Each structure stands twice: as structure tokens, then as C-alpha cells.
Structure 1
Amino acid sequence: MTRTARASGRRLGRRLRQDRGSEAIQAAIVTPILITFLCLAVAAGRIVMAGGKIDAAAEDAARAASIERTHGAATSAASQAAARSLGDAGVACSSRSVSVDAGGLTVPVGQVGYVTVTVRCTVPFGDLLLPGTPGSKTMTSQFRSVVDAYRSREG
């Protein structure tokens, strides 16, 4: 072996010894970044899934309200349908509200009326333990359902 080969082998050995522990430092830097990315993905997934389920709850509530004959019964049916739909879907709302515009129930028979329901649900994110994320997000969905034109109504 030549003198140059031995010298470069020694230099390589010194360089390798100087890199000892660098993998642990890299892992310590990369791990929190990966955990943050994972938490953000979970939060985004929760927003998308909750949004779809809240849309379905508003649709169910509007349909239930449009079947009723009175404003009071429509409001009650819409609230119950939204609660049932969100409960069945597994959406945990820290606060929930259902508002009903049942003006279509007072339209004369033979004319088309509509019932509009708005569902608001506050979805919590406190369990994600991700700094900088809000504790919750209020999501709103609205759906309009047709009232049967030839069905008897209140009034």
C-alpha cells in the first residue's frame, strides 16, 4: 500500500469518528417535525370528515322539518334529526345549534314552499396537543328541502 493511500485512510477514519452521534441529533430534529405534520394531517382530516357529516345532518334535519305541518313541529323534528344524525356519525360537537326557516309551511296548498335548516357545530381540537392550533372550529351547513305542494298545512 502506498503512503498516499494510508494517509487518506487515516483521514477517512478521523472524519468518521467526528460524525459519531450525528444520527441521534438528526433524529431529535426530525421527530418533532414529523409529529407536527402528523397532527396537522389528523386535524385536516377531522375538519373534512366533520364537514361532510354536518352537511348530512343539515340535509336530514331539513327533510324531517319539511314533512311536518306546523312550525313548532318542524323545529322540533329538525333538532331531533340533526342530533340523531350527528350522534350516529360520531361527531362530538362541543356546542350545536339548529335554526329552522319554516316559512314554506305557510304557503297556500298548490304552491311550492321550502324549509331551510342551518346546523352549526363546534368541533373540538384540544385533544390534538398541537401548539398553535385553535381549540375548536365552528362549522356551519345549510340545506333547503321542498314542502309537498298538495299536502295540507298549518293555518
Structure 2
Amino acid sequence: MTHNARTTPQRWRERLREDRGSESIAAAIVTPLLLMLLCLAIAGGRIVTSGAKIDAAAEDAARAASISRTYSGAQAEASSAAARSLADQGIHCASTSTSVNASGLAVPLGEVGTVTVTISCTVPMSDLLLPGTPGAKTLSSTFTSVVDAYRSREG
């Protein structure tokens, strides 16, 4: 009968020195951190994308206002174009404000004027991130559009 030269305490010491199972422990620690980082990157991307959509709405509103012939028409057209653009792009604002500087419509014919529109939109974080996320983020954008120098204006 042959006996193994190693005793029981020696076998236990060898087993304790082995690395088996350490990969599982490392994965259990690292996986939640990687998932949180991924969720944070997605959230940042959604916020940036929403900001780009607000920028596009400001461009649309400024262009619509610059085509108008009157100050009151510019206000109405800018607000309407901004609301339409935001709705088309799927942005649901809890509150929206559209500010129009249409002083460029008052310049004499032959001179170039500008119309500037600023849009502010408060978006609930539950729309940007995950449903049920508390809070809101206010996104705003300003865009300036040139008024045609030779287009007739009513002041």
C-alpha cells in the first residue's frame, strides 16, 4: 500500500494558495461598476442629444421669426415653430419659454437685420434617463437668423 507523501495539513496549505475562484470574485466586484458606468454614459448621451434637439428647435424658431414681416407675427411664428419642432423631435417639456428679439425687423430696407430666439425647455429626468427618476433639467439654446435686407416689412 502506498501512501501519499503529503500530509493533510500540507494539502490544505496548497489549496489555500490556489487562485481558483478569484476570477468570479473579481467579476462580482467589477461588473456592477461597469454597469453603472455604462448607465452614466447613456444618460449623458441622452442629455446631449436632447440639447441638440433644443438647438434645432431654436434654429427653426429663429428662421420662422426672420421671415415674418411684423414684430407680433415674429413672436407668434417663433413660438409656433419651436413648439412644432420640439413635438416633431419627441421632446416633452414640463415648461417652455420662447424669447424673441425681433429688433432686426425694424431696420430700414437695404440694411441687414437679425432676429434672435432663445428657447428654454425644462425636461423631466424621467424622460431623459429612467422612468421614475426624480428631478428635471432645464435646457436652453439661442440662435440668430438674418433678416433679408430687401424683403418688405410692416414695422
Fold shared by both chains (TM-score > 0.5): yes
Secondary structure in 2 aligned to 1:3? coil
Partner of 1:60: 60
Question: Comparing 4-13 with 37-46, which one deviates more in the overlay?
Answer: 4-13
The equivalent of 2:123 in structure 1 is 123
Measure the CA separation in 2 of the matches of 1:94 and 1:8.
Answer: 70
Q: Which amino acid aligns with 2:143?
A: F
**Distance in 2 between residues matched to 1:126 and 1:89, nearest whole Å:** 17
How far off its partner does 1:10 sit? 3.5
Aligned length: 150
Residue equivalent to 2:91: 91
- Structure 2 distance, partners of 1:57, 1:67, is 16
> 1:8 Cα shift?
4.0
Gaps of 5+ in 2: none
Matched, 1:150 2:150: yes
Secondary structure of the 1:154 match is coil
1:53-88 Cα shifts (integer Å, max 9, x gaps): 111111111000000001111111111111111111
Aligned to 2:5: 3
The alpha-carbon deviation at position 14 of structure 1 amounts to 5.7
Which stretches of structure 1, 4 residues or longer, exceed 6 Å deviation after superposition? none
SS at match of 1:61: helix
CA distance in 2, matches of 1:137, 1:3: 71
Query: Identity of aligned pairs, percent?
Result: 59
Deviation at 1:153, TM superposition (A): 0.7
Gap regions ≥5 residues in structure 1? none
TM-score scaled by length of structure 1: 0.79
Q: 1:124, CA displacement in angstroms?
A: 1.8
Matches within 5 A, 1:1-155: 3-4=5-6, 8-13=10-15, 23=24, 27=28, 29-30=29-30, 32-126=32-126, 128=129, 135-155=135-155
TM-aligned CA deviation for residue 46 of structure 1: 1.3
| CA displacement at 1:122 relative to structure 2 | 1.4
Using structure 2 for the length normalisation, give the TM-score.
Answer: 0.79
Amino acid at match of 2:56: A
Structure 2 distance, partners of 1:122, 1:38, is 25
